[in-house]
Amino acid sequence: MREIVFDTETTGLDPKTGDRMVEMGCVEMVNRVATGETYHAYYNPQRDMPSQAEAVHGLSASFLSDKPLFKDIAHEFLEFIGDAPLIAHNASFDFGFLNSELVIAGMEPVSLDRKIDTVALARKKHPGAKLSLDALCTRYGIDRSHRVKHGALLDAELLAQVYVELTGGRQIGLGLAADAAPSEAKPNEVAADLIGRPKGARREPRLHRASTEELARHAEFVAQMETPLWHHTGVNKRV
């Protein structure tokens, strides 16, 4: 199953009061395994950057001034996510900003039916515990030493690891065929789902059988050997 883990950075906390999205980061996962495919973009919010927000993510209005508007490259993001479920930490926040930007761009908002909230998953699994991304990384031993400030792609990459832990742990690869009955899950099919099925027309298997000419050439080659090893072992081997 294909899923997208994503994170946003913004100018503030509420798109209804004029705050805008300034960064998007996405990580593709298939069967809970990161594929290495990502999407990342900065956006010009066409407004100032409050100091409190800049202190969190380090993105200044000057840095963002030459970046594209979300509406001008929204198609790239929509093409990347396709129809996959979308996973975010405190997902209502990220969905709120994403759908606000889509509406501003004159596009249909993303259905909330696609939303998976890792805060809700963590609250159910660890009631009463701290549920921030930092706290969950600490709980699961996920290295975040390179995270000096918030960044959409970096946070999405960390969240992808947290999501795996919340939904089965690092040994989840052993149960990739859990959705199928044991008799239905064939090892080669599981491996194909993990690494991606080959594209293009299927090539018929090649017969690996020596021709008469090849056998004759081999016999001629063997006959030229002096004191071959198998003559000393007393073991007759079929060549």
Q: Exposure string (b/e) for 118-154, b if CB count within 10 Å is 16 or more?
A: bbbbbeeeeeeeebebeebbebeebebeeeeebbbbb
- Tell the residue number behind the tokens 């992808």, with chain if given: 160
Give the pair of three-digit tokens for residue 208. 């690996």
Q: What positions carry a catalytic annotation? A: 150
Work out the number of other CB atoms within 10 angstroms of the CB of residue 45: 25
Token pair belonging to 111? 């259905």
Secondary structure class of 127 (helix, strand, coil):
coil
